[in-house]
Amino acid sequence: MSESITIKSPHEIEIMRQAAKIAAGARSMGRQAVRDGMTTRQIDRAVHEFIVKSGAVPSCLGYEGFPAATCVSVNDEVIHGIPGRRTVHNGDIVSIDLCATYKGFVGDCAGTYPVGEVSEEARKLMEVTRQAFFEGIKFAKVGYRVLDIGEAVQDYVESHGFSVVRDFVGHGIGRGMHEAPEVPNYRPARSAGRVNPRLVKGMTICVEPMVCAGDWAVRILRDGWTVVTADHSLAAHYENTILITDGEPEILTMADDI
């Protein structure tokens, strides 16, 4: 995490748009690969190939040693699932999270998708997680502060009976995948003394609700990466890279199917 918030120039924003567009396209490819009988590695391959064909670099691959282009997290896995031989089946929900670096700038997005027919609870969880992002970015404007986003995410999620993960947060983005500021999905205790910067035109940040159907406590599997809910309840994740503007935020990782 770099020390200070970077404000992007118009030229840098143009490159961020291109990087983010590739990331969004890769997410769409991953989404289409979420089908009964597919392995999580095949889902990763679809994402990886799209990023490379687009002239970008899959920035998660090798990041702090992560071994793939895509984090693929199934059911009670919240984030950072490692793609492998596991197959996904009807009724599963599958989270995909990826980054693409293009001309030195990173685009980052995630989404959770159903395999075939899923339970009512799973469907509601995915919808609330996605909508929580849109509730949060109502405050992603000049005149608000970073923590206003998380408050809105938390209130929306909890009003639907779900919980938000505390141990992982959204982040600034630019030349680095993770830049300042941290963007929590909850209202930190005052005593936590979190910095709460003002939102400024030209900031690019990732807003990424991670939502659990049960309790928000998580643990990390012995692979050192996969984050699962401690109570094994279902979890969903939804993320876009956004730009703070004079008016409404611009969702840089926008695509027809987000």
Tell me which residues touch Co ion (CB under 5 A).
108, 206
Give, rounded to a whole angstrom, the gap between the first and last alpha carbons of the chain.
Answer: 27
Q: Name which of Co ion, ligand MF3, none residue 255 binds, using a CB cut-off of 5 to 8 Å depending on partner kind.
A: none
Residues 6+ apart with CB under 8 A from 216: 163, 164, 165, 166, 229
Phi-psi region of 74 (alpha: psi -120 to 50; beta: other; left: phi over 0): beta
Q: Which spans in 86-176 are helix H?
A: 120-136, 146-159
Residue 72 interacts with which of Co ion, ligand MF3, none, CB < 5 to 8 Å by class: none
Query: From the CB of 92, what's the least distance to ligand MF3, in Å?
Result: 20
Instruction: Give which of 159, 136, 168, 167 is closest to 149, Cα–Cα.
Output: 136
- Stretch in the footprint of ligand MF3 (CB under 6 A) among 18-26, 56-64, 117-125, 215-223: 56-64
Least separation in angstroms between CB 26 and ligand MF3:
11
| Residue 153 binds to ligand MF3 (criterion: CB under 6 A) | no
Question: Between 77 and 118, whose beta carbon lies closer to ligand MF3?
Answer: 77
**Burial of residue 80, with CB atoms counted within 10 A of its CB: 0-12 exposed, 13-18 middle, 19 or more buried:** buried
- Tell which positions 58-97 bind ligand MF3, by CB under 6 A: 60, 63-64, 66, 71, 80, 97
**Which one of Co ion, ligand MF3, none interacts with residue 60, CB within 5 to 8 A by kind?**
ligand MF3
Regarding 175 and contact with ligand MF3 (CB under 6 A), the answer is no
Closer to ligand MF3 at the Cβ: 66 or 134? 66
Should residue 239 be labelled a site residue for ligand MF3 when binding is judged by CB under 6 A?
yes
Contact between 44 and ligand MF3 by CB under 6 A: the answer reads: no
Identity at 13, one-letter amino acid code: I
How far apart, in whole angstroms, are the C-alpha atoms of residue 240 and residue 224?
25
